[in-house]
Chains A and B, each alone.
Chain A
Amino acid sequence: MAEACFQIKGTSLTTMSLDLYHYQPQEFSEQLRDKVASAPLFFTGSPLFLNLASFEGEADRELLQDIVKQCRSVGFQLFGCKGASDKVAQVARDAGLIHLPASRPKADKSQAEPAPPTDEAPAASAPQNTAASLPARVIERPVRSGQQIYAEGCDLILLAPVSEGAEVISDGHIHVYSTLRGRALAGVRGNPDARIFCQQLEAELVSINGHFILNDKLREHCWKQAAQIYLQDESIQVAAL
């Protein structure tokens, strides 16, 4: 008998979703570019689907084609569309997107999702318990310019410097027991309680739950000192350790 050519397996693929609220081409384009610029290594080439569940209004062909074009131009691999009405679903297929069946309604928070949550939660929504279940990822060597470390579903602990031009990303907290010169993004898949701790703050960018601040702002507080960064009322706080 011939050897099996393939096997079909169940998998829980982690991807990011783009939850569209409202659409204005210029605004969308600017915000999308800002977003990608905040962590180019992380976002570029990332698979992404479009979630229309919270979209005000009805998506038409032109809008979908526009979004597909914009997302691809900044390097996302937009592959699908979710939360669309039957009519829009057909339009999405025509725009080259696969149609993903809608997940359970958002109101249903009592039941934990079995699969890893893929929706990047809007800032106001309840925290999802993405982190803490897995042990933290520990990195002992420096993270160099051009490198990226992503601790998926857990905290990230770094024992050596993070260089300018490097990205460290975590679904939970990020601890840097050294100098943080690059970009640190904590709680990327929706966790407003995530924090960043570092022994010496010289970061290019820090981000919690999608909110970020840049180097020029960071220089005003705790620069080159031990600091923690957290989110309070949707605004990033930097405090001495």
Chain B
Amino acid sequence: MAKIIVITSGKGGVGKTTSSAAISTGLALRGKKTVVIDFDVGLRNLDLIMGCERRVVYDFVNVINKEATLKQALIKDKRTEGLYILPASQTRDKDALTYEGVEAILNELAEDFDFIICDSPAGIEQGAQMALYFAEEAIVVTNPEVSSVRDSDRILGILQSKSRLAEQGKAVKEHLLLTRYNPSRVANAEMLSVEDVEEILAIPLLGVIPESEAVLKASNQGSPVILDTESEAGQAYQDAVSRLLGDEVPHRFLEQVQKGFFKRLLGGK
């Protein structure tokens, strides 16, 4: 039986799709058969970041409407063995997803896969609620700034009141993924620190992804940043995947890098 994980945030543009692509790739690299679903009906971004946009024939909504089978719509990733993408529809209206339809698809996928990753649209309304409803775990993507933290707090409230598990009186397992973290801006008090965000949200920290040029480069190339093993962002996503699988890995890239002479003067850490 697959584990269903939603990647959600409330606020838009914080890195949900980037993280969905990286984490699903990372899980597949560890031998877990993984499917990543784009719930952002109307926008369709995930296939671009995964570099498979030209291979999209059928989408999520076609499968719900029984215009295509799941097999026809699933795209097998070319780079990573054991990874599949279910793209969102670009043109359909937002009401195209129904709870019954989504549930049927998830049930079918659950038989074949180890992980189902749901890339949520922004917001806290219907689309985001649909993406999180069936999840057993949630990765809450947050940027180190007040408005993003507030929105994450709201989505956590929805997660624990409007998800299927919440309706059954159970709790969805929560993970905090802090992205676009810039230690020097934290040092200048332009951004909240990891500790600040952890204290406000009070959920376990899955990872901290540094702000990195490599992310933009990766999405332009249509290759998830986790495959860029040289980059800090890629390495930080690998650590996060390890933690998701239960390993204990120390957090990296939290400190400002001191350069050259100063670094030597102050002594390495």
**A residues whose Cβ falls under 8 Å from a Cβ of B:** 141-147, 160-161, 163-166, 179, 181
B156 cross-chain contacts in A, Cβ below 8 A: 142, 144
**B154 at the A/B interface (Cβ < 8 Å)?**
yes
Cβ contact within 8 Å between A165 and B153: yes
**B265 at the A/B interface (Cβ < 8 Å)?**
no
A145 cross-chain contacts in B, Cβ below 8 A: 150, 153-154, 157
A161 cross-chain contacts in B, Cβ below 8 A: 200, 202
Cβ contact within 8 Å between A142 and B154: no
Are A147 and B150 also in contact (CB < 8 A) when A141-B171, A142-B156, A160-B202 are?
A: no
9 contacts between A and B (CB under 8 A): A141-B171, A143-B157, A144-B156, A145-B154, A161-B202, A163-B157, A165-B154, A179-B199, A181-B200
| Additional pairs, 14, CB under 8 Å, beyond known A145-B150, A179-B199 | A141-B171, A143-B157, A144-B157, A144-B160, A145-B153, A146-B154, A146-B157, A147-B157, A161-B202, A163-B153, A164-B153, A165-B153, A166-B157, A181-B200
**When chains A and B are docked, how far (Å) is the Cα of A145 from the Cα of B150?**
7
A163 cross-chain contacts in B, Cβ below 8 A: 153, 157, 200
The main secondary structure of chain A at its interface with chain B is loop
- How many residues of chain B are within 8 Å of chain A by beta carbon? 13
A181's nearest neighbour on chain B, judged by CB, is B200
The 4 closest A-B pairs by CB, nearest first: A144-B157, A145-B153, A147-B157, A145-B154
B161's nearest neighbour on chain A, judged by CB, is A147
B157's nearest neighbour on chain A, judged by CB, is A144
B171 cross-chain contacts in A, Cβ below 8 A: 141
**When chains A and B are docked, how far (Å) is the Cα of A179 from the Cα of B150?**
15
**When chains A and B are docked, how far (Å) is the Cα of A164 from the Cα of B199?**
13
**How many whole Å from A167's CB to the nearest CB in chain B?**
12
